[in-house]
Amino acid sequence: MAAEGKTIDALSQFELTHAFGPVGAAVNFTQSNAHMLAAAVVIVAVMAMGIAPRAVVPGRLQAMSEMFYEFLENLVTGQVGHEGKRYFPFVFTLFMFVLFGNVIGLLPYAFTYTSHIAVTFALAALVFIVTTGVALALHGRKFFGYFFPEGAPLWLAPIIVPVEVVSYLSRPISLSVRLFANMVAGHVLLKVFATFVVLLGGLGVVGPVMAVLPLSVNVLLIGFELLVAFLQAYVFAILTSIYLHDAVHLH
Amino acid sequence: MKPVTLAGLMALLATSAARAVETVENSLEAQSTEASGGMPQLDFGNPLMLAQVIWLLIIFGVLYYVLAHVVLPRFDSVLENRRNRIQGDLEAARSAKAEADNALDAHRRATARSRADAQAAITEALATAQADATAQAAVLNAKLNDQIAAAEARIATARDTAMGALREVATDTAAALVQRLTGLNEPAAIDAAVQRELTAQGRA
Query: Is the CB of B17 inside 8 Å of chain A's CB atoms?
Result: yes
pLDDT digits (tens, 9 = 90+) for A16-57: 899 888 988 889 999 999 999 999 999 999 999 999 998 888
pLDDT range class, residue A189, cuts 50, 70, 90: very high
With CA atoms as reference, report the closest residue to A37 among A25, A29, A26.
A29
- Residue pair A192/A10 in contact (Cβ under 8 Å)? The answer is yes
Hey, how many other C-beta atoms are within 10 angstroms of the C-beta on A191? Answer: 19
Which residues, 6 or more positions from A164, have their beta carbon under 8 angstroms from its beta carbon?
Answer: A146, A147, A148
Q: Please provide residue A18's backbone torsions phi and psi, each rounded to the nearest 5 degrees.
A: -80, 145
Query: Is the CB of B134 inside 8 Å of chain A's CB atoms?
Result: no
Which residues, 6 or more positions from B129, have their beta carbon under 8 angstroms from its beta carbon?
Answer: none
Query: Is the CB of B21 inside 8 Å of chain A's CB atoms?
Result: no
Query: Is the CB of B75 inside 8 Å of chain A's CB atoms?
Result: yes
Q: pTM, whole model, 2 decimals?
A: 0.71
Hey, how many other C-beta atoms are within 10 angstroms of the C-beta on A39? Answer: 24
Query: Is the CB of B142 inside 8 Å of chain A's CB atoms?
Result: no
With CA atoms as reference, report the closest residue to A180 among A243, A226, A228, A128.
A228
Q: What is the pLDDT of residue A206?
A: 84
Residues recorded for chain A: 251
pLDDT of A3 over the 50 cut: no
pLDDT of B24 over the 70 cut: no
Q: What is the pLDDT of residue B193?
A: 83
Instruction: Give the residue from B74, B80, B85 with the most A CB atoms within 10 Å of its CB, the best one to mutate.
Output: B74
More confident: B28 or B63: B63
- Residue pair A166/A147 in contact (Cβ under 8 Å)? The answer is no
Q: Tell me if B67 and A116 make a contact (CB, 8 A cut-off).
A: no
Q: Tell me if B47 and A28 make a contact (CB, 8 A cut-off).
A: yes
Q: Tell me if A210 and B46 make a contact (CB, 8 A cut-off).
A: no
User: How far is CA A71 from its chain centroid?
Assistant: 17
Q: Tell me if B55 and A205 make a contact (CB, 8 A cut-off).
A: no
DSSP 8-class letter at A251: -
Q: Residue A12 and residue A194: Cα distance in Å, rounded?
A: 14
> Partners of A18 in the beta sheet?
A30
Q: How far is B75 from chain A (nearest CA, A)?
A: 7
User: Sign of the CA dihedral B190, B191, B196, B197?
Assistant: positive
Angle, in degrees to the nearest 10, between helices A117-139 and A171-201: 160
What Cα–Cα distance (Å) separates residue B40 from each residue in A17, A25, A125, A188, A229? Answer: 11, 18, 21, 13, 21
Q: Residue B51 and residue A22: Cα distance in Å, rounded?
A: 15
Q: What percent of chain A has pLDDT over 70?
A: 97
Query: Is the CB of B85 inside 8 Å of chain A's CB atoms?
Result: yes
* Four-CA torsion A52, A54, A60, A66, nearest 10 degrees: 90
pLDDT digits (tens, 9 = 90+) for B120-151: 999 999 999 999 999 999 999 999 999 999 99
Q: What is the pLDDT of residue B36?
A: 44
Alpha helices in A105-206 (DSSP H): 117-139, 157-169, 171-201
Q: Which residues of B touch A17 (CB under 8 A)?
A: 48
pLDDT of B32 over the 90 cut: no
Hey, how many other C-beta atoms are within 10 angstroms of the C-beta on B166? Answer: 15
Chain A residue at shortest CA distance from B83: A56
Count of pairs with CB atoms under 8 A, one residue in A, one in B: 159
Q: How far is B61 from chain A (nearest CA, A)?
A: 9
Q: Tell me if A11 and B16 make a contact (CB, 8 A cut-off).
A: no
pLDDT digits (tens, 9 = 90+) for A128-178: 999 999 999 999 888 888 888 878 888 888 888 999 999 999 999 999 999
User: How far is CA B3 from its chain centroid?
Assistant: 90
Q: Tell me if B59 and A36 make a contact (CB, 8 A cut-off).
A: yes
pLDDT range class, residue B34, cuts 50, 70, 90: very low
Q: Which residues of B touch A46 (CB under 8 A)?
A: none
Q: Residue A132 and residue A144: Cα distance in Å, rounded?
A: 10
Q: What is the ipTM of this complex?
A: 0.91
pLDDT range class, residue A60, cuts 50, 70, 90: very high
